[in-house]
Structure 1
Amino acid sequence: MNETGRQLASFAESLKLPFTFKMVIVYDMNDLHEDLFEIEADEVVGVYASLILRTMIIKPNRLENLLRVIRRLKPCTMTVTEVEGDQHNSSSFINSFIKSLFFYSAWFDCLNDCMDRNDPNRMSLEGKFLSRGIRSIVATEGDERMIMHVGINLWRSFGRFGFVEIQARLAAKKFACGGPVNLDMNEKSLIVGWKGTPLFSFSAWKLR
Structure 2
Amino acid sequence: MMTPSIAAAEFHRKVPFAQVAQFAGIQCIFEHVERSRNIHIIDLGIRCGQQWTILMHALSSKKRCRIKRLKITAVTTLAKGPIEEIGERLVGFAQTMNLHCCFEVIAVRDFAELNRAHFTLVPGEAVAVFAEHVVSTLTEPSNRLDSLVRAVRSLNPRVMVVTEVEGNQNSVAFVSRFVETLFFASACLGGQDEPLRGFAESTLMGEGSKIVLAIEGPERIIRNMKVDVWRTYFQRFGMAEAKLSSSSLYQAELVAKRLPSWSPCTVGMDGKSLIVGWKGMPIKSVTAWKF
Q: TM-score, normalised by structure 2?
A: 0.63
Letter in 2 for 1:130: M
1:183 is aligned to 267
Query: Is the CA contact (8 Å cut-off) linking 1:46 and 1:75 kept in structure 2?
Result: yes
1:17 is aligned to 99
Q: Among the aligned pairs, what percent are the same residue?
A: 36
SS in 1 for 2:99: coil
Letter in 1 for 2:248: A
1:4 is aligned to 86
Structure 1 residues 45-54 or 23-32, which shifts more? 23-32
SS in 2 for 1:11: helix
* Aligned length, in residue pairs: 200
Out of 206, 209, 221, the residue aligned to residue 146 of structure 1 is: 221
1:29 is aligned to 111
Q: Deviations over 1:77-135 (max 9, x none)?
A: 1111100112x22333222211110101111125x27x9729xxx95x65554233201
SS in 2 for 1:89: coil
Letter in 1 for 2:196: R
CA distance in 2, matches of 1:91, 1:65: 25
1:101 is aligned to 182
1:53 is aligned to 135
Residue 75 to residue 163, structure 1, CA distance change in 2 (3 Å): same
Q: Deviations over 1:12-45 (max 9, x none)?
A: 2233222211100110223211111111112211
Q: TM-score, normalised by structure 1?
A: 0.86
SS in 2 for 1:23: strand
Deviating runs (4+, > 6 A) in structure 1? none
Q: Which runs of 5+ in 1 are unaligned?
A: none
CA distance in 2, matches of 1:129, 1:33: 31
Query: Is the CA contact (8 Å cut-off) linking 2:141 and 2:218 kept in structure 1?
Result: no
Letter in 1 for 2:211: S
CA distance in 2, matches of 1:60, 1:186: 26
